[in-house]
A and B are shown apart, each in its own frame.
Chain A
Amino acid sequence: MDYNFHWRPVLRKLPELLEAGLLTLEVAVLSMLLGIAIGLGLALLRMQGPTPLRQIATTWVEIARNTPALFQLFFFGFGLGAFGLHLSPYLIVLAGLTFNNAGYLAENFRGGFLAVPETQVRAARSLGMTAIQTYVRIIIPQVLKIVYHPMTNQMVWAVLMSSLGMLVGFRELSGETQFFASKTYRIFEYFAVTAVIYYVIVKIILLASNLLARRLFRY
């Protein structure tokens, strides 16, 4: 073997890589929060929206789930660009990830709502609760438990998927790594260290998610 490993240049750039890691986390978290809000809306529309809105929601979910995430990112980058709408790399990634998250989460939520028995609604309404009180106090807390772990998976997926950002010029963790690697040609070393950073980020998310679950779901 005639390859000599050089770790020093990578370690020297570690602060920059960690900062890029934070950017990765930021865009993933934001895309999740937006994705949850939109996904919830899409799920409700698919279940009881008026026909045209239901069709739009269904189309969204179909495209988000059945086409490569990279193409979805490209749409917000090059696709909109062709129509003269130029988003910053940050916004391209945020929009692409949000679009994708919302599609997957909508299906999780829909499954969650369908898993809560209709009789829970009847019981709550028979006590005089309004439809909104029934949703907020009885149905959504139960749905949250059902969709919690799939939601955590989606969060992990969002972190890893954000690495596609490097293909639209976004300097998140992978983009930053690519940038430094191409300057020094220590490609393997850079990506090995970055893989470790991704791993640690994901581990932290899983740990936090488990701790939160223990507090939220005592039953």
Chain B
Amino acid sequence: MIEIKQLHKYFGALHVLQGIDLNVSKGEVLSIIGSSGSGKSTLLYCINGLEEIQKGQVVVDGTTVHDKKTDINKLRQRLGMVFQQWNSFPHLTALENVALAPKIVKKVSRDQAKSIAEKQLKHVGLGDKLDVYPSALSGGQQQRLAIARALAMEPEYMLFDEATSALDPELVGEVLDTMRLLAEEGMTMICVTHEMGFARDVSDRVAYFHQGVMEEVGPPEQIFGAPQSVHTQKFLANVR
């Protein structure tokens, strides 16, 4: 379980997260929507400790993320992350991209890392691209490669930071399908997204962020059908 308690985050004078309280249980799919600059991506970075926080705490399965005593590299193995810019490692083949972290972080054997990588690449539909370098893959394929790379660490949670916003429109579908597949398999997911269809169909809950505040959170029927907050209503009226 991920527990976020009274989380405050500043970039200099900018108060980007203003006291967020949010719990995500095992098996849940949470989508976070909201306009750019509302703090939703920053929240993901705070969850896996890529960003420092100024107040409050984030607890993942009982471990406090920003505690000095926490072994953050160990904790991050539980938290897979997929970025907007897919960030495949350009000097490694698809197989090497996926096998590297199991090999050097989890210290599994070379053969085992290779078979994990093969399995995860097949999982995301790239079973025929094992020895291809990222430069020869489309944006959608590279994003699926990034998903396979995160899955290879066998995380308990997957964090998606606008995984489809940098893609050409015709490539968005394949990545969303992969994310749907993970949700069906019971993966716990937090998805920062601009894909309202995905948020509505796949999520158990949807949170709407506005200027560093979580305005509203609830089942998709509530958020999309009968939003309580004026800001949520305005936002949804604009994106429809």
Contact = CB atoms under 8 A, between A and B. Distances in A.
Interface string B70-107: 00011011011101010101110000000011001110
A114 B139 CA distance: 23
Contacts of B77: 127-128
A120 B91 CA distance: 12
Contacts of A125: 50, 73, 76
Interface residues of B, number: 27
A119 B91 contact: no
A127 B120 CA distance: 15
Contacts, number: 64
Contacts of B79: 126
A138 interface: yes
Contact of A141 (B85, B91, B135): B91
B105 A128 contact: yes
Interface string B51-85: 00000000000000000000001101101110101
B48 interface: yes
A125 B51 CA distance: 12
Interface in A191-219: 217-219
Contacts of B135: 219
A218 B135 CA distance: 11
Nearest to B149: A127
A135 to B, nearest CB: 12
Nearest to A131: B73
Contacts of A117: 85, 87
Contact of B91 (A124, A127, A145): A145
B150 interface: yes
Contacts of B134: 219
A129 B105 contact: yes
B153 interface: yes
Interface in B118-172: 133-135, 146, 149-150, 153
A6 interface: no
Contacts of A80: none
Given A142-B90, A145-B91, A126 B105 contact: no
Contacts of B87: 117, 119-120, 122-123
Interface string A126-148: 11111001000110011001000
B91 A129 contact: no
B89 A138 contact: yes
A207 B158 CA distance: 48
B83 A119 contact: yes
A129 B50 contact: no
A126 B133 contact: no
Contacts of B81: 123, 126
Contacts of B100: 127, 137
Contacts of A217: 91
B76 A126 contact: yes
Contacts of A145: 91
A32 B16 CA distance: 48
A197 B167 CA distance: 54
A125 B135 CA distance: 22
B104 A129 contact: yes
Contacts of B150: 126-127
B133 A219 contact: yes
Interface of B: 48, 50, 73-74, 76-77, 79-81, 83, 85, 87, 89-91, 100-101, 104-106, 133-135, 146, 149-150, 153
30 contacts: A117-B87, A119-B87, A120-B87, A120-B89, A122-B83, A122-B87, A123-B81, A123-B83, A123-B89, A123-B146, A125-B50, A126-B50, A126-B79, A126-B81, A126-B83, A126-B150, A128-B74, A128-B105, A128-B106, A129-B73, A129-B105, A133-B104, A137-B100, A138-B89, A217-B91, A218-B133, A219-B90, A219-B133, A219-B134, A219-B135
A-B pairs, top 5 by smallest CB distance, nearest first, are: A123-B87, A127-B101, A219-B133, A126-B81, A128-B105
